[in-house]
Amino acid sequence: MDEIKYWVWLSRVFAYGSEKPRKLLEVFHSPRAVLEASEEDLKKLSFLKESDRRAIIHTSLERADKILSDCDRLGIHIICYGSPEYPHRLADIYAPPMVLYVKGEIQGIDEEAGITVVGTRRASDYGKRLTGNLCYELSRAGALIISGCAEGIDTYAHWGALKAGGRTIAVLGCGLDVDYPASNRELKLAILRKGALVSECPPGEYPTRSIFPVRNRLMSALGVGVLVTEAPMKSGSLITAEHAIEQGKDLFCVPPHDIYDVNFGGVARYLRDGAIPVFSAKDVLDEYFMLYPHKLNAEYQFAQQVKRNKTLPVYHQRQTAVKKETEPQKVLEQKQKAWDPTLSKAHRNMFDAMTSQPESLDEIAARAGLSAAQAAAIATELELLEYISSYSGKRYAKHVITE
């Protein structure tokens, strides 16, 4: 535990994404030796500025003690750089984190066919559907889905994997105990049952605008390839694509369903530059069947797993939207399925609070006795499980089920 304390201390000296901790280790060989180095020894290092030397001298070891205590209380595991548990895929990147905070299980991640899935937070209905379906297929074939647990594309990437019964890992840009985003509270709990939450931020640290671009280097590094499903030109998710290129990872992009849709401007750019186009999960998996034969099921029949109506282009969905909303009962009756008894009481309460007519999420949440954040998270899961349908204006209607 004492040695872990010094690793935590070193992780707090510099800003996230700094290469200087590793450079110091090349000189002093351990974080404890860095702490005990004299000011004269530090002045000999040309890569350190005066402000860096002050940070090393004045960063308190007591702060590391507090972090260790918090992790013990919250059940958070600390993995130190250079330890046997530390992922090899992170060890050789630029500015590897000195510590990883983990809830769940990441052992063996270096042997997994991990696919990092990213995209815009403001995802279209089409982008959500294709992301959920692709990740469902990838997961069913044995791939590990990695994403950032943000709203939008990330959310559907994780839920797609979970629906398939697969593992998924969320790399967060905040402390693992921080309720961000609040709408994904239920998702995090579900991830912990089949995967892990990972961060380089200690408990209690809230996200800032600057942390996410730095966090993205970890997301790309943990996978063997990065898949961008929907992203406009200025989407922060494209930073993950840039990291993938720098790290020598494969880059996959879903071609735009509409060449004039600005929400796909970012993927169009990378496709022009040579990214691998993805029309089905098979386009991704074909790159890795030979490399991960012990993990991927080459016999998996993708085309039979996704219903045709789930892969219709978004413009067709929009054309039929009026008909769907004026005749929802006729459409919904075609989607009968049995209720999953493993779902929580909150899921059932929300479903029971819905009708076959589209209603606002706020109305449904009030009837179900749920907060807006809880309702949003449960609605996402129920939609992926095909118990409900979503409509414009954050409205939802339930399908007919068999008891």
Domain check: are 196 and 263 in the same one? yes
pTM reported for the whole predicted model: 0.77
Domain check: are 134 and 204 in the same one? yes
Q: Which uninterrupted H or E stretch holds 168? A: strand 168-171
Domain membership of residue 85 (yes or no) is: no
The pLDDT value recorded for residue 108 is 93
DSSP 8-class letter at 9 = H
Cα–Cα dist 296/289, whole Å: 6
Domain membership of residue 12 (yes or no) is: yes
Domain check: are 67 and 109 in the same one? no
Place of tokens 């996978």: 223
What is the phi/psi pair of residue 134, to 5°? -60, -45
Rounded to whole angstroms, what are the CA distances from 298 to 270, 286, 291?
A: 28, 9, 12
Residue 181 preceded by cis peptide, ω within 30? yes
Place of tokens 């509270």: 185
Domain membership of residue 154 (yes or no) is: yes
Domain check: are 24 and 171 in the same one? no
Whether the predicted pLDDT of 330 surpasses 50: no
Domain check: are 63 and 110 in the same one? no
The pLDDT value recorded for residue 323 is 39
Would you give the distance in Å from CA 154 to the centre of its chain? Answer: 5
2-13 and 61-74 helices, crossing angle to 10°? 110
Structural domain for 353, as ranges: 343-396
The 3-class SS string of 263-307 reads: HHHHHHHHHHCCCEECCCHHHHHCCCCCCCCCCCCCCCCCCCCCC
Q: How many CB atoms lie within 10 A of CB 43?
A: 11
Domain membership of residue 251 (yes or no) is: yes
Q: What's the pLDDT tens digit per position in 297-317?
A: 866 644 444 443 343 333 233
Domain check: are 161 and 53 in the same one? no
Q: Of the candidates 229, 162, 238, 152, which has an alpha carbon nearest to the alpha carbon of residue 196?
A: 162
Q: Of the candidates 176, 137, 131, which has an alpha carbon nearest to the alpha carbon of residue 151?
A: 131
Q: Please report, rounded to a whole number, the percentage of residues in the chain having pLDDT higher than 90.
A: 69
The pLDDT value recorded for residue 298 is 67
Domain membership of residue 26 (yes or no) is: yes
pLDDT band for 343, please (50, 70, 90 cuts). confident
Domain membership of residue 319 (yes or no) is: no
Domain check: are 372 and 296 in the same one? no
Domain check: are 29 and 106 in the same one? no
Q: How many CB atoms lie within 10 A of CB 78?
A: 21
Domain check: are 126 and 229 in the same one? yes
CATH classification at residue 354: 1.10.10.10
Rounded to whole angstroms, what are the CA distances from 78 to 3, 31, 201, 329?
A: 11, 15, 11, 51
Domain membership of residue 313 (yes or no) is: no
Cα–Cα dist 113/368, whole Å: 40
Cα–Cα dist 375/362, whole Å: 8
274-287 in b/e burial notation, b at 16+ Cβ within 10 A? ebbebebbbbbbeb
Domain check: are 127 and 256 in the same one? yes
DSSP 8-class letter at 109 = G
Domain check: are 164 and 272 in the same one? yes
The pLDDT value recorded for residue 299 is 65
Specify which residues 4 forms β-bridges with: none
Q: Of the candidates 150, 160, 146, which has an alpha carbon nearest to the alpha carbon of residue 183?
A: 150
CATH classification at residue 247: 3.40.50.450
The pLDDT value recorded for residue 175 is 96
DSSP 8-class letter at 255 = P
Q: What's the pLDDT tens digit per position in 265-289?
A: 999 989 999 999 999 999 999 999 9
Interacting residues of 309 by C-beta distance below 8 A, sequence separation 6+: none
Cα–Cα dist 195/132, whole Å: 17
Q: How many domains does the structure of the chain reveal? A: 3
Q: Which of 25, 57, 72 is the last residue of a domain?
A: 72
Specify which residues 225 forms β-bridges with: 115, 250
The pLDDT value recorded for residue 329 is 44
Domain check: are 144 and 270 in the same one? yes
Domain membership of residue 185 (yes or no) is: yes
Q: What's the pLDDT tens digit per position in 100-141?
A: 999 999 999 999 999 999 999 999 999 999 999 999 999 999
